């Protein structure tokens, strides 16, 4: 099985002032699969995934760069459950909940759990396990920014984070799901043993 974690990827090329340009990122999901059927009860965690929703100092396709510390106030104010997990930024399509949102030295690292009682979440999990879907994208309001009039580059210094979506094409190509948690080996149903 081929896999690529975000930490294994090469950094984007620098464009100056500590900002890195957008570089294509193949992204893939790391998953393990087990047999299923009417006589198997899946055990263990399901629908869990993790990755980076934003990277510090990396320019996105809209010429925005998120700076370190930009999410700090918003995460303290809203908490993990105050930031919604959506499909393609659509507020009518929640998919589950974020279980962990934290800034680290690299960016905004996220862990989420899809609500597998919802058909759309099951469909998305299947696509993520195949590596067909792995984009992450943030929905926010800018509170403090600095714009360079010569280049049009906008440095986002404080962000009010509302939601993070699973998307097909993220504006920041490196914002990807890095791992889809594998289910633990299934146990046999006692009535079908």
Q: Which residues are known catalytic residues?
A: 89, 137, 163
Identify the CA nearest to 106 among candidates 69, 141, 153: 69
Identify the CA nearest to 94 among candidates 106, 112, 73: 112
State the Cα–Cα distance between residues 58 and 61, nearest whole angstrom: 10
Report the alpha-carbon angle 174-180-184, nearest 5. 165
What are the Cα distances from residue 120, in Å, to 40, 96, 165?
A: 23, 10, 13
- Helix residue ranges per DSSP H, the chain: 72-78, 119-130
Strands (E), the chain: 14-16, 19-20, 40-43, 48-55, 64-66, 84-87, 90-103, 107-114, 135-147, 154-167, 177-180, 184-188
């Amino acid at each position: 099985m081929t896999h690529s974690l975000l930490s294994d990827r090469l950094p984007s090329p620098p464009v100056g002032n500590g900002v890195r340009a957008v570089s294509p990122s193949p992204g893939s999901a790391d998953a393990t699969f087990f047999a299923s059927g009417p006589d198997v009860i899946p055990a263990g965690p399901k629908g869990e995934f993790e990755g980076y929703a934003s990277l510090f100092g990396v320019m996105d396709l809209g010429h925005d760069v998120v700076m370190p510390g930009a999410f700090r106030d918003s995460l303290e104010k809203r908490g993990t459950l105050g930031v919604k997990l959506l499909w393609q930024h659509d507020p009518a399509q929640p998919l589950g909940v974020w279980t962990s949102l934290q800034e680290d030295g690299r960016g905004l690292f996220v862990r989420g759990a899809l609500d597998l009682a919802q058909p759309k979440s099951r469909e998305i999990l299947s696509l993520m396990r195949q590596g067909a879907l792995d984009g992450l994208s943030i929905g926010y309001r800018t509170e403090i920014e600095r714009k360079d009039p010569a280049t049009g580059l906008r440095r986002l210094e404080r962000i009010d984070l509302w939601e993070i979506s699973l998307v097909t094409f993220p504006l920041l190509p490196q914002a990807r799901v890095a791992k889809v948690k594998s289910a633990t080996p299934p146990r046999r149903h006692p009535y079908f043993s």
